[in-house]
Homo-oligomer: A and B are copies of this chain.
Amino acid sequence: MSKDFPTRSENYSQWYNDLVIKADLAENSAVRGCMVIKPYGYAIWEKMQARLDKMFKETGHSNAYFPLFIPKSFFSKEASHVEGFAKECAVVTHYRLKKSDDGKSIVVDPTAKLEEELIIRPTSETIIWNTYRGWIQSYRDLPILVNQWANVVRWEMRTRLFLRTAEFLWQEGHTAHATAKEAIEETERMLGVYADFVQDYLALPVIKGVKTANERFAGALDTYCIEAMMQDGKALQAGTSHFLGQNFAKAFDVKFTSREGKLEHVWATSWGVSTRLMGALVMAHSDDDGLVLPPKLAPIQVVIVPIYKNDEQLSAISIVAKKIKSDLEKKNISVKFDDRDTHKPGWKFAEYEFKGVPVRIAIGPRDIENQTVEVARRDTKEKSVIHLTDLSLKIEHLLDQIQDNLYQKAITFRESKTFKADSMSEFTKILDVEGGFVYAHWDGTSETEEKIKEETKATIRCIPLDNKLEEGKCIYSGKPSRQRVLFARAY
């Protein structure tokens, strides 16, 4: 644990990288662009997984598992899909190694070349829709509501821990429906699940919206997304849900007999969130002293640190500490009692502050006399002395308050960084001076979107779902526009 890293205002990007590594969330591996997710980071991801998995099951989905490998030819079957993914994929060409002729090293065995190369899945629409062909004959087989937790690989050139890595972990839902209406409903339902999850668990407000054609998933008719604001004012896409129409059903010849006896192509959706959410979590709430974790995702929600000079004091404190721990655990609160004698209390305070533990309880000999403890919250750093009576109830409420406070703080911050711009000069000035989200009129063309991106590095994050129609003129072309769209620089 170490604090020798820049503050957010000094160097936001470096602050993020250093924090992720020094707080033991993840590190770069020996393989270019691939990360190691360390136990403390993985414990947060497991909490995310557990909650999302429950939400998927509550909305009728089951998990399944499809192959890591996708035959190269599958990619060619959906034209826009291959465009989107062929440029950045890992290709398996051989299936054996052998000793080199001099016996000193191992080399790829040239006789073990695959007839058809295999692609490590960057996403699984193709292999899954090839499989669904065998599962679907009749409307009675629909809907299929399947999710997969998996690793995927996209050979990104510039990578950053959690935010953009060559291999990442995610879940990908792939559903099949009898009608377009049902598929669109599913797409929107899962966007809602993501928005609820990010708001309730990551304590992060999001804008729900639809991507422009330029930013759509390769193979989708519509891509819905949730967009969150980071502390540097940049946007981060936190999840996407795609209405795929009949594109993959047509590419993989998946048809069903309808109730009316007609043979029709199946309608599809896919939706995913990834370990990118870990990056969003860090960037949204943490501060110059280290991580700040929302209680609902903190691996350790409460840490108890004893303050003592001798064994006698420690043993008196331990009795109280263990009682508190046990009371809190009955409320499903995760507690660590750190009675290691290898580190001083001050070191421990700094450690847990750095690791973002939401609540710290310190107990000294004076507390034992007074039947009190000192409680410090990580988010505001406020300390208070609390009597042991009803302590666990008070801690439970405090955790809720912290969760809520982080969310409110993030909303307030986002509001303070959300603007309207009615001209390009205003638009650019806001982005350069304030950063943040800018609502502006746009003429609806890809050309204008591209030009604005080239000139300002800002992209259309989405056309918000709750947009009110409003007549106006495109800030770039001056052409008429019927609504403002959300622009931002983004991760």
Beyond A63-B42, A65-B37, is A342–B96 a contact (Cβ under 8 Å)?
no
Which one of B27, B66, B91, B106 contacts A29 once the chains associate, using CB atoms below 8 Å?
Answer: B66
Cα distance, A119 to B120, chains bound together (Å): 12
A88 within 8 A of B: yes
Cα distance, A87 to B134, chains bound together (Å): 33
Cα distance, A119 to B95, chains bound together (Å): 9
By a CB distance below 8 angstroms, the chain B residues around A120 are 68, 92, 120
Beyond A95-B89, A97-B119, is A151–B68 a contact (Cβ under 8 Å)?
yes
By a CB distance below 8 angstroms, the chain B residues around A96 are 86-89, 91, 155
Beyond A46-B63, A72-B97, is A134–B86 a contact (Cβ under 8 Å)?
no
Stretch from A74-82, A261-269, A430-438, A450-458 that touches the partner: A74-82
- 0 or 1 for each of A33-70: is its CB under 8 Å from B? (1 = yes): 01111110011011000000000000000111111111
Q: Are A30 and B74 in contact (CB under 8 A)?
A: yes
Residues of A at under 8 Å CB distance from B? Answer: 27, 29-31, 34-39, 42-43, 45-46, 62-76, 82, 86-98, 105-106, 108, 117-120, 127, 130-131, 134, 140, 146, 150-151, 153, 155, 167, 169, 342
Q: Are B37 and A127 in contact (CB under 8 A)?
A: no
Which one of B37, B46, B63 contacts A39 once the chains associate, using CB atoms below 8 Å?
Answer: B63
Beyond A65-B37, A69-B167, is A97–B91 a contact (Cβ under 8 Å)?
yes
By a CB distance below 8 angstroms, the chain B residues around A146 are 39
Which one of B31, B75, B118, B131 contacts A36 once the chains associate, using CB atoms below 8 Å?
Answer: B131
Min CB distance, A147 to chain B, in Å? 9
Cα distance, A68 to B75, chains bound together (Å): 22
Min CB distance, A148 to chain B, in Å? 9
Which one of B42, B90, B105 contacts A65 once the chains associate, using CB atoms below 8 Å?
Answer: B42
- Indicate how many identical chains form the complex: 2
Cα distance, A43 to B61, chains bound together (Å): 11
* Closest B residue, CB atoms, query A45: B65
Min CB distance, A104 to chain B, in Å? 9
Min CB distance, A133 to chain B, in Å? 10
By a CB distance below 8 angstroms, the chain B residues around A63 are 39, 42-43, 46
Beyond A30-B127, A36-B64, A67-B31, is A108–B93 a contact (Cβ under 8 Å)?
yes
Q: Are B140 and A342 in contact (CB under 8 A)?
A: yes
Min CB distance, A165 to chain B, in Å? 9
Cα distance, A93 to B107, chains bound together (Å): 11
Which one of B68, B75, B105, B153 contacts A97 once the chains associate, using CB atoms below 8 Å?
Answer: B75
Cα distance, A167 to B72, chains bound together (Å): 17
By a CB distance below 8 angstroms, the chain B residues around A119 are 97
Cα distance, A130 to B27, chains bound together (Å): 13
Cα distance, A140 to B340, chains bound together (Å): 11
By a CB distance below 8 angstroms, the chain B residues around A37 are 64-65
Could you give 13 example pairs across A and B, Cβ below 8 Å? A29-B67, A30-B71, A31-B71, A39-B64, A43-B63, A67-B167, A68-B153, A87-B96, A88-B95, A90-B95, A91-B96, A93-B93, A93-B108
